[in-house]
Chains A and B, each alone.
Chain A
């Protein structure tokens, strides 16, 4: 590996050839501000258009200042990162940016977490001498995401996420000059674009230009209505990240405190989406075995591989892009929707509450879930199975507003019966987790033997596409895993071309799975943090005595008392769904 030496601010630093000035400077603790530059190194996600020009530095012998985020360091280079010329240029550039930005910090959803605000504060900007026209665009509200593009600084991170990481192509730069902005084609509304609501654009937007639709006011209203029984479910990935919002080390599990906080917020019952994840496994696992057995017995009408269907971002993606393959995903609803369906039938009956008097709230790491719970097919007579879906960030905000001292809370347990879960339900939040959970159950149901080693290490990790062959007692089962929709597209194109030899494929829209969901606390490009969140879930799984979904006693009871058998008649009605051909809603993207 070739090393080179350069001088930055009078310090000599040795770096690998090909390193940028920015990284070389960071190596010796010199902090150069950046805005458009963005990296999630473990996922190989990188945005460096070199557009914002905040990171400029002076290089001896060069006429102009150079952007440190894309300029490679070379042997003997002499760099000045903070002299007067550089500071003046940087300040001027920030002032220009602000001169075309609304002064909305007091009412902006991003305030306190905004990278532009942070830089303005750091530079001590006190006045904007460049006054003039500001660009204004109409606000665009979709079921999940709000675009307030007046606040866009054209860093193009969202564009990179949507096009390169997700290959959705909903967002790109349009118009030119002062009028240029990132928007769906023809500046249409996001709702009319191929957007999947994965929220990855929101999770990287440095400003308040892209934010989630905030439902906490609706929840507050429901909680204050004495006629309503408000119950809440929390997705697995939430407990792995919520603590970050309260200053806890990333990787701290806050399950008990989260339950305690939700009770103090006034939810009548605090349940766990993991319970519904166990239920998903029962249904999806049974469906997989059914398809597999028919396939093995030569039934050619059975399509394999079976695709998981618990990620609504992914569901949107294949309804848009792979409508010719609508018969291969599992018909099982997502855990969020299974929970809602059971809560408003089985549980509502049990506690003697009418469906319309029950409000089901979900806390999700995800923005696509906001859209999912509004889908028509998940409503009974106009009443949705899940009323409101809040993101992890919204919950944190809610807890802070209620002046609950989160760190001081005792650890409390979920309510029953919809609060008990196995370790299999917990790992749903990680990429590979759903399929691992399914394997644990499917293995035992298929072979009738006890699975001794429940950890399928081969299915874990952060590579975008992974595959493994699991030995089902002589039957080799080929499993594929993809996270990030670009990777999903690769596997799906193989399926479409008839070149796929997988039996089952797990797909999650978000890089890392739900732990990296669009509703999680902002990671600001720190991929270590995602790995720590993943380890929380694996740890929680290991700590459980019950590790397999079909062993969850409340699940067993639910089938005995109410559902009958997995994939049976009642299950089909409540726990399964169908998919729609939405290919005409998108332009073809290949």
Chain B
């Protein structure tokens, strides 16, 4: 609509504003591939080719769309231009930090009271964003981390809350500005699962052109999956580190070069959690279902049979007025029994259950 209006006003089209200069805008819809955010991939997809990046140089500014010099920018960048023209470059440069001028739009989401798009000056701290603009963590829970930069960004913690946000600082602490995504995580989030979640996305969205990204990310995902299933080993943690480093070091485009960031930043900032998953088979956030189990305290259980009747897979046995027992091999960890029990006899235990002769802890 805006384009049509601009055309009517003579701002777009042949000989705009009656000048010899012609300028027009055409919108193109992509097929929705994440990798087409990479400029060469974007251009290839516009040319009707497979949306995959190619080696630079040549850079698009030298040879881009159909071999012509091409200027690739985000909508956000273009949106800044009228303001800069109207208010002057100096005014724009007065906002922000030494190296990152102006403002930045973030998509604030996650376990935070106020979610939505925010435009903030560069150089603002995470603390200001989360606690002032975002209104703090939901339900008064404890802040755990903030994931910035979209799927291939990194997770920052408590200690980064006072970092001034700009392009360089974010990279320095192991994340990036990326798409401007900002997802706040609280104590209920498992960092291994968070890393896995992002890798899952990357595995789907890699274009498949280069080996480290195509296969490497898949293997990273599989190792994370193994850890969340309680089958991880210390070697797996080493593998994660080496693989992440090699994928970053050898991938063809920005997607692969940043895709291990969620793994690397969580490995660095939440090493303890990885260790717990691998050695204690414990997920402190209770997110990794395979690692927790439900347990009936025989001293509290009155044998009302409520849990037995509600269990969808008949995992609970026990006679009336006798303490009931959950068969861990059948239990699917749906939590229905815990909710049902009026006596709070059923609780969730975070460690993976160690089998003993009697089938109990």
Q: B249 to A65, Cβ gap below 8 A?
A: yes
Is B250 on the interface with A (CB-CB < 8 A)? Answer: yes
| A contact residues around B217 at 8 Å (CB) | 177-178
Flag B192-209 by CB within 8 Å of A: 1 or 0 each.
000000000001111111
Return the chain A residue nearest B35 by Cβ.
A176
A130 to B214, CA, bound (A): 13
A interface footprint on B225-250 (CB within 8 Å = 1, 0 otherwise): 00000000001000100110010111
C-alpha spacing A469/B48, complex, angstroms: 41
- With A132-B219, A176-B206: A92-B246 Cβ-Cβ less than 8 Å: yes
Q: List 13 A-B contacts (CB under 8 A).
A: A49-B54, A50-B54, A52-B211, A56-B249, A64-B251, A72-B57, A97-B215, A129-B235, A177-B214, A178-B208, A178-B217, A178-B218, A180-B207
Cβ-defined contact, B252 with A50, below 8 A = yes
- Residue B257 at the A interface, CB < 8 A? yes
Partner of A178 from B50, B203, B246 at Cβ < 8 Å: B203
> Which chain A residue lies CB-closest to B250?
A53
A577: CB under 8 A from chain B? no
Which A residue sits closest to B257, measured CB to CB? A64
Can you add 10 more A-B contacts, CB < 8 Å, to A50-B54, A176-B206, A176-B207? A53-B210, A64-B248, A71-B55, A72-B57, A99-B215, A100-B218, A177-B217, A177-B218, A178-B217, A180-B209
Chain B residues lying within 8 Å of A176, measured Cβ to Cβ, are: 33, 35, 204-208
Q: How far is the CB of B275 from chain A (nearest CB, A)?
A: 20
**Inter-chain contact B209/A51, CB cutoff 8 Å:** yes
- Interface presence of B216 (CB below 8 A): yes
Residue of A nearest to B216 (CB): A96
Contact A132–B208 (Cβ < 8 Å): no
Does B52 lie within 8 Å of A173, measured CB to CB? yes
Interface presence of A85 (CB below 8 A): yes
A362 to B107 Cα, complex, angstroms: 68
Would B239 and A129 count as touching, CB distance under 8 A?
yes
Q: Which chain A residue lies CB-closest to B215?
A: A96
Asked whether, in the complex, the Cβ of A96 is within 8 Å of the Cβ of B207, the reply is: no
Q: Is B222 an interface residue (CB 8 A)?
A: yes
A517 at the interface (CB under 8 A from B): no
The residue in chain B whose Cβ has the minimal distance to the Cβ of A94 is B211
Would A172 and B249 count as touching, CB distance under 8 A?
no
CB contacts under 8 Å to B, within A101-129, are 129
Cβ-neighbour of A173 out of B208, B212, B222 (below 8 A) = B208
Asked if A67 CB lies within 8 Å of chain B CBs, one says: yes
In the bound complex, do residue B215 and residue A92 qualify as a contact, i.e. CB atoms below 8 Å apart? no
Which of A50, A65, A133, A177 is in CB contact (< 8 Å) with B55? A50
Chain A residues lying within 8 Å of B257, measured Cβ to Cβ, are: 64
Instruction: Say whether A154 faces chain B, with CB atoms less than 8 Å apart.
Output: yes
Chain B residues closer than 8 Å to A131, beta-carbon distance: 222
Contact between A130 and B250 (Cβ–Cβ < 8 Å)?
A: no
User: Contact at A100–B249, with CB atoms within 8 Å?
Assistant: no
Q: Which A residues lie within 8 Å of B252 (CB)? A: 50-51, 53, 67
Given known contacts A50-B252, A53-B251, A97-B215, A178 and B206 CB-to-CB distance under 8 angstroms: yes
In whole Å, how far is A195's beta carbon from the nearest beta carbon of chain B?
A: 19
**Band of interface residues on B:** 35 or more
Q: Mark B48-69, 1 if CB is under 8 A from A, else 0.
A: 0010101101000000000000
Assess A154 versus B211: contact at CB under 8 Å? Given A64-B248, A85-B249, A92-B242.
yes
Asked if A179 and B208 make an inter-chain contact with CB atoms under 8 angstroms apart, the answer reads yes
Q: B residues within 8 A CB of A70?
A: 55
In the complex, which residues 125-179 of chain A have their Cβ closer than 8 Å to any Cβ of chain B?
129-133, 153-154, 172-173, 175-179
- From A64, A99, A153, contact of B249 by CB (8 A): A64
Q: A99 to chain B: which residues have CB within 8 Å?
A: 215, 219
Given A64-B257, A130-B219, check contact A178 B214 (CB 8 Å).
yes
Is A539's beta carbon under 8 Å from chain B? no
Query: What's the least CB distance linking A32 to chain B, in Å?
Result: 14
* CB-CB under 8 A for A177 and B246, given A154-B208, A154-B209: no
Verify A96–B208 contact, CB threshold 8 A.
Answer: no
- Nearest-Cβ distance from residue A38 to partner chain B, whole angstroms: 15
Pair A88/B219 contact, Cβ less than 8 Å? no
Q: Which 5 A-B pairs have the closest CB atoms?
A: A180-B208, A132-B222, A177-B206, A96-B215, A92-B246
**Contact yes or no, B214 A89, CB < 8 A:** no
If A176-B207, A178-B203, A178-B214 touch, whether A89 touches B246 (CB-CB below 8 Å) is: yes
- A52 CB to nearest chain B CB (Å): 5
Q: How far is the CB of A126 from chain B (nearest CB, A)?
A: 16
Q: Kindly list chain A residues whose C-beta atoms are within 8 Å of the C-beta of B248.
A: 64
Q: A64-B257, A173-B50 are in contact. Are A93 and B246 (CB under 8 A)?
A: yes
Q: Which residue from A48, A49, A56, A64 sits with its C-beta under 8 Å from B209?
A: A49
Chain B residues in 8 Å Cβ range of A172: 50
In the complex, chain A residues whose CB is within 8 Å of the CB of B206: 176-178
The A45-97 residues at the B interface (CB cut-off 8 A) are: 48-54, 56, 64-65, 67, 70-72, 85, 88-89, 92-93, 96-97
- Can you name the residue of chain A whose Cβ is closest to the Cβ of B206? A177
